[in-house]
Amino acid sequence: MSLPPPLSPRENVRLPALYGSSDYSFREDFKYRYRANPYQEKLKSFSSFVLQDHEGEHFAGHWQKVFANQNPLVVEIGAGYGDFMASYCMAHPQENYVAIDYRFRRSLSVAQRLAKIEGHNFRYLRAKGERISFLFGPQEVQKVFIFFPDPWPKLRHHKKRLINPHYLHLLSNILTEGGEIWLKTDHDDYATWMEESFAQEKSLSLIWQSHDLYHEYPAHPLTTYPTKFEKIFLGQGIAIKAFILRKKLCPA
């Protein structure tokens, strides 16, 4: 894959103290630490569709060139074991799909699975989801999926939660006007936290929600491709909380 010229340097992101101000992965000067890892080496054999660490950042604002088409771009943050990604990509060949996850061993398992799918309307980034504003350009993404992010249940760890007003603002920046964010969680407190965060990002509207997805809306598209963790939660009788946010249109 030839790399296009990088976008103009961005200013360092300044975070509110509560939201990961000590997390350098949000900053422009962040660097991944190289660690000798057998899974990282094995992932290189899937380089036709797998990008690692900073490699995906070279394509910010240029993903249509990567896919060589004008199809809408869909992003999944936290691809897990690839259950949703694989099913969605096969069912929606007219969309370009970029998934992000940072776990080495799990990423290799997903890559091996994706290699069997024809068409390759996808790319897999073994990278940090916090790097979202460096991986995609402004108004480049039509839809974002975030399913079952780590709830960090202990109070002292709440600052590590991915969904917060600052991160929602970053997501809003990469969304097209009318673009959407689809979220799911099994965790009641995190669901409440999410709703409080939604209210603080004025560029996004909460257009749909459910606090018991499979009982209230069993035919909703969000029930179509359950993830591995989702099946576990459902088997335990846990209600799935789900939300859809939409980016507001700018005044004409």
For residue 69, the 8-state DSSP code is S
Q: Sheet with 204-210: list strands edge to edge.
A: 50-52, 122-126, 96-101, 73-77, 141-147, 175-185, 241-247, 204-210
Instruction: Sort residue 68 into left (φ over 0), alpha (ψ -120 to 50) or beta.
Output: left
Structure-token pair, residue 218:
């069993």
Rg (CA), the chain: 18
What are the two backbone dihedrals, phi and then psi, of residue 77, each rounded to the nearest 5 degrees? -105, 115
Structure-token pair, residue 59:
């394509």
Q: Nearest Cα to 74, choosing from 142, 173, 168, 148?
A: 142
Q: 150, 188, 189, 212: which is the annotated catalytic residue? A: 150
Beta bridge partners of 141: 175
Residue 150 is among the residues annotated as catalytic for this protein: yes
The set of residues, in sequence order, having a beta carbon less than 8 Å from that of 34 and lying 6+ positions away, is none
Burial class of residue 33, CB neighbours in 10 A (0-12, 13-18, 19+): exposed
The residues that are catalytic are 150
